[in-house]
Structure 1
Amino acid sequence: MSSSPDYPEKDRPIEAWCDLHDLHVKLKDGRQVSTPLWWYPRLLSATPAQRNNVELMLDGIHWPDVDEDLSVDGMLQGRRAPGAVPPSVAAE
């Protein structure tokens, strides 16, 4: 696979997984990015099996079971899904 001229090869995801609270992505250059699951309501409401069925793309991650796509760039810039609410606010 060749790298896109618009996307740095160092930012390519090589592994992705979720625990109960966070999404973790390991990048080709060794960095690991973690973001809270509540940033992505589709992933938050998915089952653990659905969350762990991931497809790595050149510039992001795809979850076919929940039709969710996230870019590494979005994670690095701290972008969350529109309407995502912190659990403490959602409980009010």
Structure 2
Amino acid sequence: MSSHQNAYAQNIQCTEYDLLVDLQDGRRLSIPLSWFPRLQTATPSQRENYVLMGGGLGVHWPELDEDISVEGLLRGQKVSQ
């Protein structure tokens, strides 16, 4: 069984330098914001305005038009602009 199957986000937090994703299974992902140019240049309030999609399969930032999948994060997939 892949560790990517059934991986759902339950909480998202952005620090000055990192995107932190808490998964429902207890794991925490820490990814550099530099991987996500739109998030990196966003204001703190824009970063806080997110919606979990598909019960946590992905994250959407409406003000930034940014979508990130949990599976992509687990694969180490950077977002290109």
TM-score (norm 2): 0.87
Structure 1 stretches of 5 or more lacking a match?
A: 1-6, 84-92
Looking at structure 2, the residues matched to 29 and 60 of structure 1 have their Cα atoms a distance apart, in angstroms, of 15
Shift of 1:8: 3.5
**Local SS of the residue matching 2:71:** helix
What SS does the aligned partner of 2:79 have? coil
The sequence identity of aligned pairs, in percent, is: 46
Q: Tell me whether 1:73 sits opposite 2:51 in the alignment.
A: no
Q: Name the aligned partner's letter for residue 12 of structure 1.
A: Y
- State the Cα RMSD in Å: 1.4
Question: Residue 46 of structure 1 is aligned with which of 42, 67, 70?
Answer: 42
Q: Which one has a larger percent strand, Structure 1 or Structure 2?
A: 2
In 1, Cα distance between equivalents of 2:53 and 2:5:
13
Runs of 4+ in 1 over 6 A off after TM superposition: none
Structure 2: segments with no counterpart, 5+ residues = none
1:25 aligns with 2:17: no
Instruction: Point out the structure with max Rg over C-alpha.
Output: 1
